[in-house]
Structure 1
Amino acid sequence: MGQFILREVRGKVGVITLNRPEVLNAWHGPMRAELIEAFSEMEANEAVRAVILTGAGERAFGAGQDLNETKQFDPDRAELWIGEWEALYDRMRSLSKPIVAALNGVAAGSAFQVSLLCDFRIGHPGVTMGQPEINSGIASTTGPWIMREIIGLARTIDLTLSGRMMDADECYRIGVINRIVPQSEVMAESLKLAGELAEKPPVAMRLNRARFREVTEPGFRDCLAAGARNQRIAYETGEPARMMEQFLATRAARKKS
């Protein structure tokens, strides 16, 4: 068992928990690798018929990328980084079992994207979601792809270029959150929904998820190619490292005040 991802099986439902609450469940390379392993375990476990993905603690489903990792990248490492996301996203997209995101607090950047790759999202009134990557100097490619599939191009442009976060009401209104319940009831509601999904015919479930993957595959592959190209260009300029240092310094100053 790894230290960054928790796994649990409750009857026919597998529960995967992002477990870096001290940094709002922001991910780095080891955490991404463990998450892929966890999804593979749930796929291989025939007793598991549905999966819940959530974050440890009450403040965040996930804050997205750990900037302390990416601020050190050079262009070659930035390009490899896109391959790491490809492996995770492909693992989620190829799962034969439905995935429910149990949201707690913030889901930002790549964590927002991961929540959109889930089939359902259960949230509470304090949830915030969005794509603030531009604020830390990260050019977005996988984010705009999945957002366009879910919420359309106009809203994708808004969120990508402004970097703003949406509150739970807006997320529910545009279909990003499927159900809003009190925060204390998010996991119970997610378990209820996952339990209902676990009782659906498994072959039909597998074929339906596979079909959704097929119809979105060209855009997925296109965004990965663009990601490798754009991250190399961005990191060659030095802008991401400068912006991430500035972002981290500003955040540290806010914590002290």
Structure 2
Amino acid sequence: MAYKYILYDIEDGVAKLTLNIPEKMNRLSNETMKEVVAALKEAKDDDSVRVVVMAAAGDQAFCAGANLADFKGLSPVESRKVFSAFADLSRIFIDLGKPSIAAVNGLALAGGFGLALYPDITIASENAKFGLPEINVGVWSCMVSASLPKLVGRRKALELLMTGDMIDAKEAERIGLINKVVPHDKLEETVMNLAKKISKKSPVVMSLGRDSYYTMLDMEYDKAITYLLEILAIIVSTEDCQEGVTAFTEKRKPVWKGK
């Protein structure tokens, strides 16, 4: 599929999606969000893709969110239709079935803040900044608030949501918003090395394990343990798990079949 607002490339099992409108600070128009969702679905359905990387062109902004002027004068029905694209974007990363990594450089604001958090792992350059400034113009960060407390806790999440203050990459790492801060010139290298490292794991075990992790997050402890016991039984019965155990005993690298 040809894309207008993003770049989509696959190399060595890693699909890289790059927001490619730096002159507009990689803002999320409805068309851009639809392209991102479409590309993620393409990656999901492609068995050659083991890991997905979400990146952005330019140094100024990873993504500055949506253009608020687009929301002016919308009725509730029209608003719901427009904002459904944000909901789709937040869901698709969970439903991806494959590991995902965000490479964040520059500003990650509002919807761009969410786009930086939705992937499984987030690596940021030292000049990245994160914020939810839409509260300053009378908009609440509804989509982001679904996942933010799980990362930083209720109190810190509410502080970010209520104040609209920006935080730098070091503070984002400190509070658990992101995984790691790296020098600006090492961001792409760090992210791609991590993606390639993860891509070498069994794809079927990675998918089962990752999906089970998200499924059990909101379960009661006993229900989670019961559920995970079933998943573990399935994982151990896969060809890849048996190959991994055999390779370990034979002191060789496993050859994954994805089964």
> What interval of TM-score do these two structures reach, taking the shorter chain for normalisation?
0.7 to 0.9
Q: After TM superposition, where is structure 1 displaced by more than 6 Å over at least 4 residues in a row? A: none
Separation of aligned partners in 2, 1:20 and 1:74: 28
Show the counterpart of 1:148.
149
Separation of aligned partners in 1, 2:198 and 2:80: 37
Show the counterpart of 1:119.
120
Any conservation in 1 of the 2:101–2:191 contact (CA below 8 Å)? Answer: yes
Deviations 1:185-208 (A, max 9, x none): 101100000001111111221122
Separation of aligned partners in 1, 2:124 and 2:95: 24
Query: Which has a greater percent of helix?
Result: 1
Show the counterpart of 2:69.
68
Separation of aligned partners in 1, 2:213 and 2:141: 23
Any conservation in 2 of the 1:94–1:213 contact (CA below 8 Å)? Answer: no
Separation of aligned partners in 1, 2:71 and 2:21: 17
Please identify, of 134-143 and 99-108, the stretch whose mean Cα deviation from structure 2 is larger.
Answer: 134-143
Separation of aligned partners in 2, 1:208 and 1:132: 35
Equivalent residue of 1:126, what SS?
Answer: coil
Unaligned runs of 5+ in 1: 219-257
Q: Which has the larger radius of gyration?
A: 2
Amino acid at match of 1:83: S
Separation of aligned partners in 2, 1:136 and 1:26: 17
Equivalent residue of 2:54, what SS?
Answer: strand
Structure 1 residue 41, shift from structure 2 partner: 1.1
| Counterpart check, 1:100 vs 2:75 | no
Any conservation in 1 of the 2:103–2:124 contact (CA below 8 Å)? Answer: yes
Structure 1 residue 159, shift from structure 2 partner: 0.4
Show the counterpart of 1:241.
none
Separation of aligned partners in 2, 1:97 and 1:9: 14
Any conservation in 1 of the 2:134–2:140 contact (CA below 8 Å)? Answer: yes
Show the counterpart of 1:24.
25
Structure 1 residue 209, shift from structure 2 partner: 2.4
Structure 1 residue 82, shift from structure 2 partner: 3.0
Show the counterpart of 1:181.
182
Structure 1 residue 108, shift from structure 2 partner: 0.9
Show the counterpart of 1:85.
86
Show the counterpart of 1:48.
49
Any conservation in 2 of the 1:5–1:35 contact (CA below 8 Å)? Answer: yes
Any conservation in 2 of the 1:4–1:31 contact (CA below 8 Å)? Answer: yes
Deviations 1:113-156 (A, max 9, x none): 12211111111211101211201221222222211111110001
Would the alpha carbon gap of residues 180 and 79 (structure 1) be closer, same or farther in structure 2, given more than 3 Å must change?
same
The normalised TM-score by structure 1 is 0.80
Structure 1 residue 79, shift from structure 2 partner: 1.6
Relative contact order, higher structure (CA 8 A, sep 6+): 1
Show the counterpart of 1:172.
173
Show the counterpart of 2:247.
none
Any conservation in 1 of the 2:90–2:143 contact (CA below 8 Å)? Answer: no
The normalised TM-score by structure 2 is 0.80
- What fraction of aligned residue pairs are identical, expressed as a percent? 30
Deviations 1:172-221 (A, max 9, x none): 11122212211111011000000011111112211222223324579xxx
Equivalent residue of 1:138, what SS?
Answer: coil
Separation of aligned partners in 1, 2:73 and 2:8: 30
Equivalent residue of 2:171, what SS?
Answer: helix
Any conservation in 1 of the 2:26–2:56 contact (CA below 8 Å)? Answer: yes
Show the counterpart of 1:235.
none
Corresponding residue pairs, total: 218
Show the counterpart of 2:191.
190
